[in-house]
């Protein structure tokens, strides 16, 4: 790998500078992405399921910015889409599922996918991306967490109150566990195939774990992510595939996440980086955690925030710079350039 700073940072090896990639780095803030979206008929699903276009979109941000990793262009809801639950994305809206899970019968009728075939378009995209990258930077694969995917499947889309999934959790916890077990099995198979196809690292996005209390988080979210980590590690015991767990609003449970067996913990911006590092210590690497809205600030403000985070890190091995959540579609491109350049220039030559 020509630029191996991302993987080296996770394993606390020497690096040339603090590595950076950005959640949703391939997306609507880039005019070239918007043009490719038009090629796909302005349909997110059509774009996601077209390996050539998914490859093109994955590589777009790397052509603009000196990022230290690529991330597969896909979605956390590929599994329910493959289950024929009626996934759609309305213009300017989040995901919708037209056939939500309502009862135990719905859960029992869910398939265990043949992900090698049912999600073959993802693996074709990975193969294309790896060829185009030509070992310049690592490629990150990913999945949503079982809890997060289940939330969309039960709620029928996004939610502000999570009433349906929480009602199931408190009224029929055994049924919810059945759903989470099904999703865990499918996710493991999906991620194993991603690794076999060529991704260099895995990230589990637990977007909705933070809506739970601690006991519920451990039982219904972290428990299943631990199973995924354990199974992936056992499948690839002779090959290092670093796994990151990111729970949005998960700052209360950093120690629990760090003890999950993962290699890196992703942080959102609601926790101070210094506090997180003090609590996690050297157990695992840390990724984060600038507020995406800082990129709407002035050039000076963006650089100040970068300096603050890197000063708190203070040359500690095992740190990857990222935003605390996905980049927003209105983000100025020049702000992203400022961010990436500042991270590299400020951290270059420090005690790594």
User: Which one of 29, 33, 37, 268 is the catalytic residue?
Assistant: 37
CA–CA distances in Å: residue 114 to residues 45, 107, 335: 20, 17, 42
User: Is 207 labeled as ligand-binding?
Assistant: yes
Q: Is 25 annotated as a binding residue?
A: yes
Rounded Cα–Cα distance for residues 165 and 131 (Å): 41
Say whether 37 is catalytic. Answer: yes
The distance between the two most distant Cα atoms of the chain, rounded to a whole number of Å, is 59
6, 24, 189, 352: which one is catalytic? Answer: 24
Is 152 annotated for ligand binding? yes
Q: Is 315 left (phi over 0), alpha (psi -120 to 50) or beta?
A: left
H helix or E strand, kind and range, residue 264: strand 264-266
- Strand, helix or coil for residue 237: coil
Catalytic residue among 6, 29, 75, 200: 75
- DSSP three-state, residue 316: coil
Known binding residue 317? Answer is: no
Question: Could you tell me which residues are beta bridge partners of residue 243?
Answer: 202
> Is 121 annotated for ligand binding?
no
For residue 266, list its beta bridge partners: 246, 287
Instruction: Please state, in angstroms and rounded to a whole number, the distance separating the CA atoms of residues 236 and 141.
Output: 15
Catalytic one of 6, 152, 217, 346: 152
CA distances from 1 to 4, 238, 302, 352 (A): 6, 19, 30, 19
Comparing CA positions, the residue from 201, 195, 198 lying closest to residue 68 is 201
For residue 201, what are the β-bridge partners? 140
Q: What share of the chain is helix, strand, coil (3-state, %, to 5)?
A: 50, 10, 35
75 assigned to a ligand binding site: yes
Active site residue 24: yes
Nearest to 221 by CA among 177, 268, 187, 255: 177
Asked whether residue 150 is marked as a ligand-binding residue, the answer is no
Residue pair 331/29 in contact (Cβ under 8 Å)? The answer is yes
Q: Is 291 annotated as a binding residue?
A: no
**Is residue 27 a known part of a binding site?**
yes
Active centre residues (catalytic): 24, 28, 37, 75, 152
Annotated binding-site members for substrate: 24-28, 75, 152, 207, 325
Annotated binding-site members: 24-28, 75, 152, 207, 325
């Amino acid at each position: 790998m020509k630029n191996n700073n991302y993987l080296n940072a996770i394993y606390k090896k020497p690096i040339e500078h603090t590595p950076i990639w950005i959640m949703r780095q391939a997306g609507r803030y880039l005019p070239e992405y918007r043009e490719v979206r038009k090629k796909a008929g302005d349909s997110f699903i059509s774009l996601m399921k077209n390996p050539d276009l998914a490859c093109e979109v994955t590589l777009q941000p790397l052509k603009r910015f000196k990022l230290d990793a690529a991330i597969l262009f896909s979605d956390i809801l590929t599994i329910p889409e493959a289950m024929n639950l009626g996934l759609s994305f309305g213009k300017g809206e989040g995901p919708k599922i037209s056939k939500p899970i309502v009862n135990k019968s719905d859960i029992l009728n869910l398939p265990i996918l043949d992900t090698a075939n049912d999600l073959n378009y993802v693996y074709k995209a990975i193969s294309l991306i790896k060829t185009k990258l030509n070992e310049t930077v690592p490629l990150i694969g990913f999945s949503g967490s079982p809890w997060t995917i289940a939330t969309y499947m039960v709620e029928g889309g996004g939610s502000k109150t999570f009433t349906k999934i929480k009602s199931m959790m408190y009224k029929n916890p055994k049924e919810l566990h059945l759903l989470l077990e099904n999703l865990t099995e499918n996710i493991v198979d999906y991620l194993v195939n991603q690794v076999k196809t060529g991704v260099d690292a895995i990230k589990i996005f637990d977007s909705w774990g933070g809506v739970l209390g601690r006991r519920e988080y451990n039982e219904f979210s972290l428990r299943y992510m631990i199973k995924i980590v354990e199974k992936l590690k056992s499948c690839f015991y002779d090959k290092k595939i670093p796994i990151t767990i990111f729970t949005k609003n998960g700052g209360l449970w950093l120690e629990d996440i760090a003890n999950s067996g993962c290699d890196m913990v992703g942080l959102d911006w609601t926790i101070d980086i210094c506090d997180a590092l003090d609590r996690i210590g050297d157990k695992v690497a840390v990724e984060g955690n600038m507020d995406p809205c800082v990129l709407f600030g002035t050039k000076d403000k963006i650089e100040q925030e970068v300096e603050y985070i890197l000063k708190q890190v203070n040359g500690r091995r095992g740190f990857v710079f990222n935003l605390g959540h996905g980049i927003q579609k209105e983000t100025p491109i020049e702000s992203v350039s400022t961010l990436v350049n500042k991270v590299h220039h400020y951290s270059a030559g420090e005690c790594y």
